[in-house]
Chain A
Amino acid sequence: MSRPVLISLLTVLGLAGFVLSLLIGPARIGPVDSIEALVAGGNEAAMIIMREIRLPRALLGVLIGFSLGVAGAALQGLLRNPLAEPGIIGISASASLGAVLLFYTGLAGASFLALPAGALIGAAICVLVLLAISAMQASTITLILAGIALGSLAGALTSLVLNLSPNPYASYEIIFWLLGSLKDRTMDHVWLVIPLMIAGWAALWASSRTLDALSLGEEGASGLGANIPRARVLVVCGVALCVGAATAVSGAIGFVGLIVPHLVRPLTNRLPGQLLLPAGLAGAALLTLADIVARTVIPERELNVGVVTALIGAPFFLWLVIRSRKELF
């Protein structure tokens, strides 16, 4: 499939997810009325529902899905490991921990920026640790296991901080932090993540040529004139910004960054740098659709969207591991 065709197809898919997400919700508003209320106003209630409840949710689905897809593809390119993704190797969990540490302990004075700042720092620290492990010529297995260990540690510490919080509801919020949700998000959240994510996307895009060159290994890439240390910094910053911003607003949503690169890779020329944009678009489509499933599969109840992505992603991960066992061992 040629690249322009692929990009167009995935863009359409992402837009479809976005529009569907706008049209589906507990308040029964017809499709035409929904769009009218969104764009032109009219019925007061419909306008509030569309603009303040459904629009931020749909936008965040697209933005977060895109960011997780791109971050996953970039990590796989840098670590040269098809099993790397922000959820599995603990980056999302570390972002959650960072956010929780700064917010619940009141360290940042309950500022609106406490959550995203903490999430960014948590994500960055985790990526740096993983890079250090990767630089020690670690095998695929070692890297994944280290990531899982980091994720478990971050999850345990998150639970600890929440339990120690003076607020009685805090310990129940662990579900949000570990399994993610887009429920009742506001346009404030959208404006918060947009600049952070754009910066993240830019950093990752800037590293894309070096990620391509890394297909030939570090020496090969170096011989082609690639600046590998710079690429590492760009990917660390890019992933921290993307995953940190996403987690601050929605909790840890895993597996998106694993599934979409794998689904999309066979349709591209498989160069990691070229995979970034298609993976992002596919991630946007996947997350919006997962969020729709989370809202509709059980009537009267809403699942955490991270549950849906895990239900798809964990078996997929298992299948990948089994399929590639000869290469891993």
Chain B
Amino acid sequence: MQLTAGNISVSLAGRQVLHGVDIVLEPGQVTGLLGPNGAGKSTLMRALAGQVAHQGRIEIDGQPIIAMNEADRAKMITWLPQARVLSWPISVRAVVELGRLPWHGWRRALSQVDREKCAAAMELLDVTGLADRPATDLSGGEQARVLMARAVAQDTPVLLADEPASGLDPAHQISMMAALRQLAGQGRTVLVSLHDLSLAARWCDRLVLMKHGLIAADGPPDEVMTNTTLRDVYGISARIGHDACGLWLAPLGLTGGESDNE
């Protein structure tokens, strides 16, 4: 499903965080959301998920999300927040099963379909072996995968993931992105925010760069990842290269400073 957002403005605590952002997310693609800290990435995601008050229009396949109640919206959009919160030592399986809440609602018992979706999600994120362990006992990387599995189990057309790969080791970062690509391949609309430039460039079909609450660049990685853009958005210089699989980037130093090691 196509997620269209027009002229989105958000102000938090009296401060304007987003200034009229336009973005269209297409199904079948992984869109990477990049930008320096404070650029407004999380806020934009929250607005798209309908979690924060905003001005402007957000629609899914033409239907405004404002008009939906929370329960229906949860069947359309999955939002995986940045903060990884697990309040109780519940088992990994129970965490993933929470993803099915919007679908079975009042009915306590999980249906066969629910169970299958959960099993598939755990398989995709390779946490099936951890199913009976308390989620709070796991390492940070394992918890990140468990929470992503929960998001996958929610099985919605749109997935918004806020920094799901941060703090993960390289192997797990790669498998997380691979999982997202697989979801996109199933026809879902995936938006993921990242800090790792190489990871973003290699695994995303499209990159959106933000700075100061505005979209600074939007397009395929080849077009967006240039030294000019990196200087303007991040204030860094980098070595950019290509190989058979895609781009790679190595940040070198800050622009306009003596730390330029070029």
Q: Which residues of A contact B (CB under 8 A)?
A: 80, 209, 212-217, 219-220, 222-227, 269-272
CB distance from A205 to the nearest CB of B (A): 11
Residue of B nearest to A80 (CB): B87
| CB atoms of A217 and B101 under 8 A apart | no
A272 to B94, CA, bound (A): 12
Residue of B nearest to A218 (CB): B85
| CB atoms of B102 and A225 under 8 A apart | yes
Q: What's the dominant secondary structure at chain A's contact region?
A: helix
A217 to B147, CA, bound (A): 12
**B150 lies within 8 A of chain A by Cβ:** yes
**B24 lies within 8 A of chain A by Cβ:** no
| CB atoms of B74 and A271 under 8 A apart | no
| CB atoms of B86 and A215 under 8 A apart | yes
A227 to B97, CA, bound (A): 19
A56 to B94, CA, bound (A): 41
Q: Which one of B51, B81, B105 has the highest number of Cβ atoms from chain A below 10 Å of its Cβ?
A: B81
| CB atoms of B81 and A217 under 8 A apart | yes
A312 to B72, CA, bound (A): 46
- A-B contacts, CB under 8 A, total: 76
User: Apart from A215-B87, A270-B88, what are 19 other A-B pairs with CB-CB below 8 Å?
Assistant: A80-B88, A209-B105, A213-B98, A215-B86, A215-B98, A216-B86, A216-B147, A216-B150, A219-B51, A219-B81, A220-B85, A223-B80, A224-B74, A224-B99, A225-B102, A226-B70, A226-B101, A270-B94, A272-B88
| CB atoms of B51 and A224 under 8 A apart | no
CB distance from A258 to the nearest CB of B (A): 16
A271 to B222, CA, bound (A): 46
The listed residue (A215, A225, A226) touching B90 by CB distance below 8 A is A215
A269 to B109, CA, bound (A): 13
Chain B residues within 8 Å of A226, by CB: 70, 101
The listed residue (B70, B83, B95) touching A225 by CB distance below 8 A is B70
The listed residue (A209, A214, A269) touching B87 by CB distance below 8 A is A214
Chain B residues within 8 Å of A270, by CB: 88-91, 94, 134
* Residues B41-95 near A (CB distance < 8 A): 49, 51, 70-75, 78-81, 83, 85-91, 94-95
Residue of A nearest to B75 (CB): A225
A226 to B99, CA, bound (A): 12
CB distance from A74 to the nearest CB of B (A): 14
| CB atoms of B101 and A269 under 8 A apart | no
| CB atoms of A223 and B78 under 8 A apart | yes
The listed residue (A215, A219, A224) touching B102 by CB distance below 8 A is A224
CB distance from B258 to the nearest CB of A (A): 41
Chain B residues within 8 Å of A269, by CB: 90-91, 94
Residue of B nearest to A274 (CB): B108
Chain A residues within 8 Å of B73, by CB: 225
| CB atoms of B81 and A220 under 8 A apart | yes
A92 to B51, CA, bound (A): 35
CB distance from B136 to the nearest CB of A (A): 9
CB distance from A218 to the nearest CB of B (A): 8
| CB atoms of A225 and B87 under 8 A apart | no
| CB atoms of B85 and A216 under 8 A apart | yes
Chain B residues within 8 Å of A214, by CB: 87
Q: Given A212-B101, A224-B99, A225-B71, A217–B85 Cβ distance below 8 Å? A: yes
User: Which 8 A-B pairs give the minimum distances between C-beta atoms?
Assistant: A225-B74, A217-B85, A223-B79, A219-B81, A80-B87, A225-B70, A225-B71, A225-B102
CB distance from A209 to the nearest CB of B (A): 7
A209 to B102, CA, bound (A): 10
